[in-house]
Structure 1
Amino acid sequence: MIFLTKQTRVISCHTKITIKVKCIVLLTLLCCVSGNENVYQRTNDIFLQNTFSTLTSPTRVKCCAYCDQTDDCMSVSYQESSRTCKLSRDPLVSVFVNGQTDTSWKSYSKNEWLLVFRGTPGIGGDIYTAWVDGIGVTVDDVTCMTTDVTTCNKNYRNPIVDSWSSVGMQQVKFAFYKDNEEAAYVIFDATGSDITSWFSSSNIVDSSWTTLATDSLNIFSIYGHDPGRRFMINRNYGGCPADAGYSIIVINKALPCTYDIQSSYPQFIISTSATSGTPETMTGMDKADVMAIFIK
């Protein structure tokens, strides 16, 4: 049986539960966290099949609270008639892929980002085909399932990417990391997209590059400038010294600029300010350690 202390504050509405838990008591065990807050999105008539724990919970709110206090829990299934609470590692975006229709159940999922791709520099290969076709990627190497700098020597691609049209995600986050910190990001509206069409200036919702949404751009494309530049957000060409942009993933030295000539490939060149930089001289630009794509 689960009890929440009086320090717990819960706000609920028709489709969401916002839960801020300070302490939770499970029989004689007291577990406390500080400032933990999550929004749980409800999906009606769905039972999550990939569950790892089952317990009895008097309410759906307490079921979600238990998930909040359990490592790796991303979603719950709750059956009100039996007061059964099942915990799952499935994130919100995979509910319709991994769920089963059942009118006696409802699922509640944390509205969080799910890492679906990690690009690793210096390992060779074309990051475009790794993303689009899954060529040369890992799906289970835990050292690659993070944005931290690790011993990872592959690109990671979550198999959920192959179910893109079924997932029903709302947003995609394209981000770069340097020294284990987020260095730049763009958030896109992903409604009705496929695995490449979300990457468009018309879909920008937010970005650390604050001039990006209104800037004049000549290339905004995952395919980029073939044969050597991918995931390219470029402001202008003007001869190599005058080139300016926000992000370039260089995959080989097929093109003639100095920034195309690297000691290993791919390399992630990004603007380090709110506006574009100059890759030829690396003015206002740097090399990132990790590239990542998230969905939710």
Structure 2
Amino acid sequence: MGCVTRCAYGRCLAASFHAGRKICQLHRKPISSQEVTFHESPEWEYAQLITDVVLYDDWILAFRATAHINQSAYTTWITPGHYDDHPAIRHDVPIGCSSVNSSHFCDRHFRSKLIDKWNSFNIDQVKVVLYKNGVAVANLTFSGTGTSSTSWFSQTKLISSSWNDMSTSTFNYFSMEGDARLVRYWFISNVYGGCPHDVGWMVVLEKPTAPCDWEKAVTAGYPAFLYAPTNQKVVWDSNNVEEADVMAVFLKILP
């Protein structure tokens, strides 16, 4: 019985096979799991069971944006017709693209077919999580009821957040489109006070020639996922800003 076949019958999610030594290792967690670390080796082959969606507990991975690959995360989200979770093409997608751990190689933004079929499902909640070195550093949960694939990211739909000052704050931007003129997407901003006094919670930067010094400080490439590392908003032009390496969007869908 082949290694992958043994995996399918053994209720595992992945398998590693060493052809020379005829070793088959069955894994109960996929390589995308936060709890898994791996080392690539030409002597080992890795296989993962293909499903229609990528699951993290009871959440479905809808989008996984990768920092610094010089591809627009926003354009990838809003452009229909492309998705990476179709079983016929999953073998061409690097395994790291369905993992929230940036140590796993990924050369694109993972996009699920569910984004194009948003209105066909009973989407209960949407969760955005920023990760740094595989660790969740910020999160927001939104109601998905009565939303479109772009309208859910809003103050009115916000259920909870790791930033505890949002309920008592005002916003000049809180949307996925954000400040499109300055190419600031998934933008949650408190106030524009002139570049040194701009204040907010998170932003996805995608423009190499930005007007403010706090944007120009990004030198590793775009997109860049900036966030307030405490439980409150931050002055962007300060030493208190952190940068995540992965932004993931998860869906919880009701029957």
* 1:294 counterpart residue number: 250
> Secondary structure of the equivalent of 1:292?
strand
Deviations 1:111-149 (A, max 9, x none): 711111001011113221111115887443221001111
The structure-2 alpha-carbon separation of the partners of 1:237 and 1:207, relative to structure 1 and needing over 3 Å to count, comes to same
Counterpart in the other structure of 2:37: none
Q: Deviations over 1:10-47 (max 9, x none)?
A: xxxxxxxxxxxxxxxxxxxxxxxxxxxxxxxxxxxxxx
Tell me what 2:74 maps to. Answer: 128
Matched residue, 2:64: 118
Tell me how far apart the structure 2 counterparts of residues 136 and 251 of structure 1 sit (CA, whole Å).
20
- Partner residue in 2 for 1:145: 98
In angstroms, what is the RMSD of aligned CA positions?
A: 2.8
Structure 2 residue 141 is the aligned partner of structure 1 residue 191: no
On the 8 A contact 2:82/2:113 being kept in 1, the answer is: no
AA aligned opposite 2:112 = N
TM-score, normalized by length of structure 2?
0.71
**Aligned counterpart, 2:198:** 243
User: Match for 2:116 among 154, 158, 162?
Assistant: 162
Moved more, 110-119 or 193-202: 110-119
Residue segments in structure 2 that go unaligned for 5+ positions in a row: 1-7, 10-27, 31-49
- Tell me how far 1:152 sits from its aligned partner: 0.7
Q: How does 1:62-73 map to 2 (within 5 A)?
A: none
Q: 1:248-278: CA deviations, max 9, x gaps?
A: 1110134310122222111000010111011
Provide runs of 4+ in structure 1 moved above 4 Å.
88-91, 134-139
Pairing 1:1-296 to 2, within 5 Å after superposition: 89=51, 112-134=58-80, 138-139=84-85, 140=90, 141=93, 142-149=95-102, 150-227=104-181, 228-261=183-216, 262-263=218-219, 264-283=221-240, 285-296=241-252
What SS does structure 2 have at the residue aligned with 1:170?
A: strand
Q: Secondary structure at the match of 1:154?
A: coil
Distance 1:226 1:163 in 2: 25
Stretches of structure 1 that go unaligned for 5 or more consecutive residues are 1-51, 54-69, 73-87, 94-109
Q: Does the C-alpha gap of structure 1 residues 223 and 124 become closer, same or farther in structure 2, counting only changes over 3 Å?
A: same
Is the 8 Å Cα contact of residues 233 and 245 (structure 1) preserved in structure 2? yes
- Tell whether the 8 Å contact from 2:122 to 2:145 is kept in structure 1 after alignment: yes
* Contact 2:65–2:109 (CA under 8 A) maintained in structure 1: yes
Q: Tell me the matched-pair count.
A: 199
Q: Write out per-residue CA displacement over residues 216-261 of structure 1, whole angstroms, 9 at most, x where no aligned residue.
A: 1110011111242110000111011100000011101343101222
Alpha-carbon distance in 1 for matches of 2:187, 2:83 = 21
Give the Å deviation of 1:90. Answer: 5.8
